Amino acid sequence: MSYGFLDIAITPSVRAAQAAMGADHLWTDVRDDRSFDRFTEAEAAFIAERDSFYMATVSETGWPYMQHRGGPRGFLKLLDERTLAFADFRGNRQYISTGNLQASDKVCLFLMDYRRRARLKVYAHAETLALDADPALTARVAVPGYRGRPERIVRLRLQAFDWNCPQHITPRWSEAEIRALQESAEG
């Protein structure tokens, strides 16, 4: 059986750590197909609701780098069952993630829903595209009315994904969610 995300994440050193902690038996006899190599309607709905995510890249020195990406709800677009894309808005202009993607196209995304205590992890291959490289794609990921200035498009080809358990995710609410709760309590 395929483990999908775990096929990538569990290396010999991870197996050794699992064995040392007495947890290796948890992952040696999984009977369910956990290939998760296509997004379903559940992931599509979850992704459409996100207004931010974290993206990890790796530098040429082997050091990981975690970057927060944000925008209006739904700025991360599901193009098809195996492809995501987003307009990469100008930030602090360090371009660490952008530079890292020139050396390695491998990324890991963490999409969080703190209120519902849910986390979707995604392994993907990323490519950066100039805004004028694919006008149809640029139009598809555009966020009309948003103040952020896009500098490029990032297209992500799904390798595998997995959902994490809610344990240790502290619930948090956005300002918009708090306003909605207040309005419903007043109404």
Instruction: Give residues with Cβ within 8 angstroms of 44, minimum separation 6.
Output: 78
Alpha-carbon distance of 118 to 139, in angstroms, equals 30
pLDDT of residue 67 exceeding 70: yes
- For the CA atoms of 94, 126, 3, 36, the dihedral, rounded to the nearest 10 degrees, stands at 120
CA proximity to 122, closest of 62, 168, 55: 55
Alpha-carbon distance of 16 to 172, in angstroms, equals 35
- For the CA atoms of 81, 83, 89, 94, the dihedral, rounded to the nearest 10 degrees, stands at 140
Judge contact between 68 and 75, C-beta under 8 A: no
pTM: 0.89
pLDDT of residue 150 exceeding 90: yes
Out of 1.10.10.10, 2.30.110.10, 3.30.200.190, 3.40.50.2020, the CATH code matching 36-175 is: 2.30.110.10
The mean per-residue pLDDT over the stretch 73-82 comes to 97
Phi/psi at 165 (5° precision): -70, 155
Domains of the chain, by residue range, sit at 1-35, 36-175
Alpha-carbon distance of 23 to 37, in angstroms, equals 25
Summarize pLDDT for 128-143 with one digit per residue, the tens: 999 999 999 999 999 9
Summarize pLDDT for 13-64 with one digit per residue, the tens: 988 898 899 888 876 666 566 668 899 999 999 999 999 999 999 999 999 9
**pLDDT, the chain, mean:** 91
What percent of the chain is modeled with pLDDT above 70? 94
